[in-house]
Structure 1
Amino acid sequence: MIDPLLSLAFSMHSCKGVYALLLGSGISSSAGILTGWQIVLDLIRKLAHSVCEDCGDDPAAWYRDSFGEDPDYAKILECITRSPEDRNSLLRRYFEPSKEEQEQGLKLPTDAHKAIAELVAKGYVRVIITTNFDRLLERAIEAAGVVPSVISTPDAVEGAMPLAHTDCTIVKVHGDYLDTRIKNTPAELSQYDERMNRLLDQVFDEYGLVVCGWSAEWDTALRAALERCSSHRFTTFWAARGEPKEAARRLINLRLAEVIRIRDADSFFRELADKVSALEEVDRPHPLSAKVAAATLKKYLPEERHKIRLHDLVMGEARKLYDELSEDRFSLNTPFTDQEFINRVQRYEALTEILQAMMITGCYWGEEKHIDRWVKCLELIANPPGERYILTDGLDLRYYPALLLFYSGGIATVAAQRYKTFAALLTQPRVFFQEEVLPPVLILYPQAVKEELAKRLPGMSNSRTPLNEHIYNLLREPFKEFLPQERLYEECFDRFEYLFALVHADLHEKRGHLWGPIGCFRWRSIFNPQLQITKVIETEIQKMGANWPPLKAGLFDGSLERFNYIKAEFDQFIKRW
């Protein structure tokens, strides 16, 4: 099932300007902005203090007892201020940052406001309905180069440009903080002016809706506007931090809304803007998730300021894959038939596709400072959850996703000639295998799967290296962006497998016996000697000697003598195979 957030990004990208936002106080909470009711309570405390009384823990009750009516925002302001200038100065303190608050990043546009502004600037969002009084959204959108049309009173509705003719319209249904007519109390929130209702009816009828930061608990009139709308031309997406409360659940059911579970508004809108931007870069009407992930990664790699987002993107996807590899999804009690083997291989490949695309892109374009990202990613997936399920004379098949990532990153580093990254992938991740901790180069190799099982894969019945060839075919498409010519792809694939086998043989020999996995390079060199990677490597060594990049990256202890010994022994081994 497709991730609802990705579904929203696809919908927003393909239907530019069709989705309106409905934003509540949760959008501005991380900026330190109080809600309207919190401001009323604080004003009551100031009023009580001005008459030398203590309003206790329930300022609203004190106000009712003292004045015989529910709190009224405008009347409270009149009681504690003497002029419009005093009133204006008092209200600004709630919404505009002091010097100290600016230094702390408070009462300034948040990541959510800035991400929304990006969507507005690119034309993906043109209408925003908000219950907030602050102007953080306006400031963020103006900073992005768009001057929004703001409707904060019923009078402004009548004079407003049609929604279709503005770059952005912000409808502040409860007013603006510098207007004493803002709505706060239950009575004020129970009904809107008819002019505002007509505008809301139009938006809810004609636009898709993205709801975030709004609980729906207190805003009776806004709930009623949503309930009046009988049409559902476009999907409603409801972003929720926890379990929606009763009022929200009713609206979600009424509008058949897609619920998106989020950590907070900042991360939700940042990720949405990034995914829409990635789709824009990919520029396909129905791009795959893997393409979106790779495009997002390309955006983050070049700039140091994105290092946290890069880490969160890569490790977030790695953690998601790790969780999918649980025994709940891949039961150990299922009879392990030939068909079950094929089914599991195909399921693993589908689950790994996104992270695989990120591994290829990251290892190809990433620099040395990014190596740790790919090492940690591979290490996580190479240590699958649960007990080991060892096939008879074969590999625990749950290492297969790690094997795919290993090949993806390894071939990419060879293609980009990033041998420090190559060496790190082969040797740095720690893989817990039985009672040992080993590098992936000694664990992740296709021949560890029983050949008679691997030959059950489509088209592999006559192959001498069936899983190697299957992986070759599987990775061909994602590598076309980097290696468009078949000959170049073959060369890089063979180079990776041969160097990987040599490193394996080197480490294996230190454990008492020289052995290395055989790859496609063996049979390809038999049928076409011109493609013999062993000879290509020999030529490189003769020209560069100790300056050969894999040696300078630290493989084979950095020793030319050690490399020549291992290569000679391994070449004899594969001739006997």
Structure 2
Amino acid sequence: MDYKKLREELSHKERTIDDLISYIGTRTNNSVPNYSLLLGAGASFSSGIRTGGNLVDVWRQEIYKKLSGKSDYDVKVAKEFLITNHSNWYSLSNEYSSLFEYKFDLPNQRRRFVEQEVDNKLPSIGYSYLVSLTKNRYFDTVYTTNFDDLLSEAFYQFSQTRPIVCAHDSSLNSISISSSRPKIIKLHGDYLFDDIKSTLRETESLESNTKEKLIEFSKEYGLIVIGYSGNDRSIMDVISHLLKTEEYLKNGIYWCIREDDHINPELTKLL
């Protein structure tokens, strides 16, 4: 679904940027945030890192031409070809993971590719602002699906604060919701390790500690989502679960969408 159609269907739920600023800034206790952040690949695009959508476009064309033997390319035709002839591995609902796994067989190959993608990239001005917002206690917890280190690098460049970075499920046990130190929770791992979660099987569900911590924090905080398309079930299933009861996300969930975004069916359903 495109942005215009989504706006027509959900106009009663649409909020402006000014609304969101007001919600973030209105706090009963100025040292306690009302929201956590969830950042996707779109947050790193201005730092020169290609988004999942960018990579899908490249991979789909390359793989389609290889498998079909044709030199011309049309997106719709390519998708139909892959669905019809390669449904044993191709997933239209999660193209990124299925194409990534087809193109790179092994975890260390996928890690090396990601490492090449993020190498020598610097945090954009947006990350500098985020560090400032964190310093002023508007946020203290950031979840990210990204493999890069741009956010933690921004803390080192633009502040004296050193965040807690959790890139492994086991490292989340010691994280306390009451800690005022900024927390960066990498939902899909870190590019320095082979166990990054990128394939269809790996993104089916979050690991236990990660899932439990996301649920625990959602009892106190609302959630603001930026640059994330909602293409993997691991996160979407947890968010859908949280929205079924008023015990969680009491301050709401706000999903930032750009006018040129394509909204996948799962996200449309959730909204």
- Corresponding residue of 1:192: 206
- Corresponding residue of 2:138: 124
CA deviations on 1:156-188 (whole Å, 9 max, x unpaired) are 223x33132251111111111222222223332
Does residue 222 of structure 1 match 2:235? yes
2 CA distance for matches of 1:250 and 1:132?
24
Change (3 A) 1:168 1:220: same
1:28 positional shift: 0.9
Does residue 247 of structure 1 match 2:260? no
Amino acid aligned to 1:247: E
What SS does the aligned partner of 1:190 have? coil
Change (3 A) 1:131 1:91: closer
Give aligned-pair identity as a percent: 25
1:155 positional shift: 2.0
- Corresponding residue of 1:26: 42
1:116 positional shift: 0.7
Change (3 A) 1:9 1:90: closer
1:29 positional shift: 1.4
What SS does the aligned partner of 1:178 have? coil
CA deviations on 1:284-319 (whole Å, 9 max, x unpaired) are xxxxxxxxxxxxxxxxxxxxxxxxxxxxxxxxxxxx
Change (3 A) 1:142 1:72: same
2 CA distance for matches of 1:79 and 1:131?
17
- Corresponding residue of 2:187: 173
1:117 positional shift: 0.8
- Alignment map for 1:19-418 (pairs within 5 Å): 19-35=35-51, 54=66, 73=101, 76=104, 78=106, 91-97=114-120, 107-143=121-157, 144-158=159-173, 160-216=174-230, 218-229=231-242, 230=245, 231=247, 232-242=249-259, 245=263, 246-252=265-271
What TM-score results when the alignment is normalised by the length of structure 1? Answer: 0.34
Change (3 A) 1:148 1:73: farther
Please list every run of 5 or more consecutive structure 1 residues that lacks an aligned counterpart in the other structure. Answer: 82-86, 98-106, 253-577
Change (3 A) 1:148 1:43: farther
Structure having the higher Rg: 1
2 CA distance for matches of 1:206 and 1:182?
28
Change (3 A) 1:248 1:45: closer
2 CA distance for matches of 1:178 and 1:44?
26
Change (3 A) 1:19 1:201: same
Change (3 A) 1:38 1:78: farther
Amino acid aligned to 2:104: I
Change (3 A) 1:167 1:185: same
What TM-score results when the alignment is normalised by the length of structure 2? Answer: 0.68
What SS does the aligned partner of 1:228 have? helix
Change (3 A) 1:199 1:139: same
Amino acid aligned to 1:157: L
CA deviations on 1:318-375 (whole Å, 9 max, x unpaired) are xxxxxxxxxxxxxxxxxxxxxxxxxxxxxxxxxxxxxxxxxxxxxxxxxxxxxxxxxx
In 1, are the aligned partners of 2:162 and 2:182 still within 8 Å (CA)? Answer: yes
2 CA distance for matches of 1:121 and 1:214?
24
1 CA distance for matches of 2:61 and 2:168?
28
- Alignment map for 1:412-491 (pairs within 5 Å): none
- Corresponding residue of 1:468: none
1:152 positional shift: 2.1
Change (3 A) 1:195 1:4: same
Amino acid aligned to 1:155: S
